């Protein structure tokens, strides 16, 4: 299995290694040990079965990697297959999930239909707003995690991940098939996020500044150029067809039309890495990262404003709830401050 720095993108090498170890332990696999003797018969493959996530009393304080507003509730996903639901952003309840591999990303196409992805190439689906989840994909033998997911509608969706992992469904996830897209996947770079822009275009961000765009609902893909060769972990739609990307060492860029370039570097005044970014309201985007950093960005002017907080842990995502800004990260689900 290949190993790259910043593989899972939450708190650098130490946390990436922890997540990898968790994935091994919970999938039932183990790293290779001494090879058998040359004349020993080959052992038959052993099917690995998914195990239900354990219901943990302090699940809301464990590592959480993604959070979304479904329109009716807030749903967060994270370590050990944990999925949490909340009505107000302050009180979180764990729900049953049919797998205990770490979950890295979650998306909802409407208040009822959502998907979460993660290690062991896991994809789980809900049709009741996150109360119950069913397995759609589980391939621990790939030794690759899914890291990002998005849907165009309730039937047509995409999931991306490590070493160029890229799958598509056109039947709501009943079947998932590999996307060819050699221009994006050819060198097996990690693909960290896939985002639907306001005009319906699809945008991928990943390792070594890899970005890609589809203007035909995922039928074809084009690799784009970015004035930065470091890893990008997230992307947020801007305007009609623009996008903001965020990544390592405080790097963030905006383009009003990524197909034609015109990338503007944001002056974030930090070298802390951003592990996620999301829309806060109609006017602002939030950047979330290392050492508790939270920034507000006005995509129109490019102005960047720090959000004061007392956090000292890595943050991977954030969402504005009825109670104000709530973040997901190394210490679980935590309120920050009300945004002004």
Break the chain into its structural domains and give their ranges. 12-26+63-335
Confidence bin at 147 (pLDDT 50/70/90): very high
Summary mean pLDDT of the chain: 89
Predicted pLDDT at 12: 39
Per DSSP bridges, beta strands 252-255 and 114-118 are unpaired
Task: Match 């401050």 to its residue by tokens.
Answer: 337
Between the two ends of the chain, the Cα-to-Cα distance in Å is 46
Question: Which of 332 and 19 is assigned the larger pLDDT?
Answer: 332
Distance between CA atoms of residues 144 and 121, nearest Å: 6
Q: How many CB atoms lie within 10 A of CB 195?
A: 20
Per-residue pLDDT of 14-49, as tens digits, reads 344 333 333 333 333 333 334 444 555 666 566 788
Name the pTM for this structure.
0.87
Residue 32: per-residue pLDDT:
38
Across 258-282, average pLDDT: 96
Per residue in 159-207, pLDDT (tens digit) is 999 999 999 999 999 999 999 999 999 999 999 999 999 999 999 999 9
> How many helices and strands (H and E) does the chain possess?
2, 27
Considering the four listed CATH numbers 2.130.10.10, 1.10.10.10, 1.20.1050.10, 3.40.50.300, the one that applies to the domain covering 12-26+63-335 is 2.130.10.10
Strand partners, 318: 327
How far is residue 244 CA from its own chain's centroid?
15
How far apart are the C-alpha atoms of 240 and 19, rounded to whole Å?
37
CB contact at 8 A, 140 and 96: no
Q: What is the pLDDT at residue 33?
A: 37
pLDDT for res 99: 98
Percent of the chain with pLDDT over 70: 85
Q: What's the CA gap between 28 and 216, in Å, rounded?
A: 40
pLDDT at residue 42, as a whole number:
64
pLDDT for residue 37 = 46
What value does the mean pLDDT take over residues 308-331? 93
Q: What is the mean pLDDT of residues 223-244?
A: 96
């Amino acid at each position: 299995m290949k190993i790259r720095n910043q593989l899972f993108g939450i708190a650098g090498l130490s946390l990436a290694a922890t997540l990898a170890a968790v994935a091994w332990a919970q999938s039932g696999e183990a790293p290779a040990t001494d090879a058998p003797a040359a004349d020993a018969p080959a052992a038959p493959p052993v099917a690995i079965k998914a195990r239900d996530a354990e219901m943990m009393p302090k699940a809301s304080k464990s590592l959480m990697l993604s959070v979304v507003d479904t329109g009716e509730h807030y749903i967060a996903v994270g370590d050990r297959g944990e999925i949490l639901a909340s009505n107000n952003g302050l009180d979180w309840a764990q729900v049953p999930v049919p797998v205990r591999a770490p979950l890295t990303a979650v998306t909802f196409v409407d208040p009822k239909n959502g998907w979460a992805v993660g290690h062991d190439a896991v994809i789980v689906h809900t049709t009741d707003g996150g109360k119950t989840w069913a397995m759609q994909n589980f391939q621990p033998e790939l030794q690759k995690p899914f890291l990002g997911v998005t849907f165009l509608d309730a039937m047509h969706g995409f999931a991306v991940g490590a070493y160029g992992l890229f799958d598509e469904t056109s039947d709501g996830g009943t079947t998932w098939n590999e996307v060819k897209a050699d221009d994006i996947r050819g060198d097996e770079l990690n693909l960290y996020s896939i985002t639907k822009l306001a005009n319906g275009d699809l945008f991928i961000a990943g390792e070594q500044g890899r970005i890609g765009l589809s203007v035909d609902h995922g039928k074809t893909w084009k690799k784009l150029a970015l004035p930065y060769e470091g890893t990008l972990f997230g992307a947020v739609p801007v305007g009609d067809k623009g996008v903001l990307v965020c990544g390592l060492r405080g790097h963030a860029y905006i383009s009003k039309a990524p197909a034609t370039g015109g990338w503007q570097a944001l002056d974030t005044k930090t070298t802390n890495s951003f592990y996620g970014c999301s829309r806060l309201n109609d006017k602002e985007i939030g950047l979330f990262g290392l050492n508790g950093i939270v920034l507000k960005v006005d995509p129109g002017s490019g102005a960047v404003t720090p959000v004061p907080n007392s956090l000292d842990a890595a943050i991977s995502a954030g969402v504005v709830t009825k109670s104000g800004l709530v973040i997901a990260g190394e210490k679980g689900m935590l309120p920050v401050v009300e945004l002004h």
